A and B are shown apart, each in its own frame.
Chain A
């Protein structure tokens, strides 16, 4: 791109410049867009495997409470990464941000409800919601492989209804890979090649 200066331009150049700037900016992913996905994905896999090992070793269900530490510890980190990464905000970015904020709160509320009031299948519910949010992200940024990964996560989520013991956590680890790690790498690759 030519360096822009404070010079006068004619009508045709003006229209060309407007079109070019809009084309260059609109819906272009920020470099490293997949970083929050990768952080949550790898840490989620580590949590699932560690809790699985602890449950097998001690048989104390309370280890499951460690899951509440995941959003509490990593939301501030993810927000910081997001703020440092974003040099512009598009309408799509805003929509994606709110999708994930709502997803996080919904899962925390649902898991809290399960713990305190009434038992329900929170793993299935969480897996379904995480897959759906990844699919929505993929559709919003128009990257079909990300949407497909999210839908695949939704498809495998009912398996949580049949798995009974701590092995359900292995399903969750696989789900973290599918809906966070894989899309994270795809988003990073696409953002690098698009800029």
Chain B
């Protein structure tokens, strides 16, 4: 039986952001942009979508005098991500069979 895939993770960029944040405690906007290669505008939009879904937390802070946006995955985000990976596995296993 297929599990339903979370449509929020269908996007390559949103999935990339979630995967990155899963393996760190927090990361700043510049680092996420470097790792994903996304444009600042697109990244900003996708981060906002994940934040509105409650999957990530955003903290506006400063590095010296430079503004800095810190992103962190929430427990809800971790749970949604795990469910997504479980659902993905069920699809892959079906295709292998």
* Interface of chain A, main secondary structure: helix
Across the interface, A89 reaches (CB within 8 A) one of B13, B24, B30, B46, namely: B24
**Across the interface, do B31 and A87 meet the contact criterion of CB distance under 8 Å?**
yes
Size category, A interface: 20 to 34
B38 touches A84 (CB 8 A): no
The secondary-structure label for the interface of chain B is helix
B12: chain A residues at CB < 8 Å are 4-9, 13, 17
A21 within 8 A of B: yes
Chain B contact residues (Cβ within 8 angstroms of A): what range? 35 or more
B42 touches A6 (CB 8 A): yes
Bound-state Cα–Cα, A84 to B68, Å = 10
Bound Cα distance from A15 to B24, whole angstroms: 18
Q: B24 and A84: CB pair below 8 A?
A: no
Binding site for B on A (CB under 8 A): 1-9, 11-15, 17-18, 20-22, 24-26, 80, 83-84, 87-91, 93-94
Q: Can you pick out 14 interface pairs between chain A and chain B where the beta carbons lie within 8 Å of each other?
A: A1-B37, A3-B36, A4-B12, A6-B11, A6-B13, A8-B12, A11-B91, A22-B20, A22-B23, A24-B20, A25-B24, A87-B27, A87-B28, A94-B25
Interface residue ranges, B against A (CB under 8 Å): 5, 9-16, 19-20, 22-28, 30-31, 34-39, 42, 45-46, 63-64, 85, 88, 91-92, 95
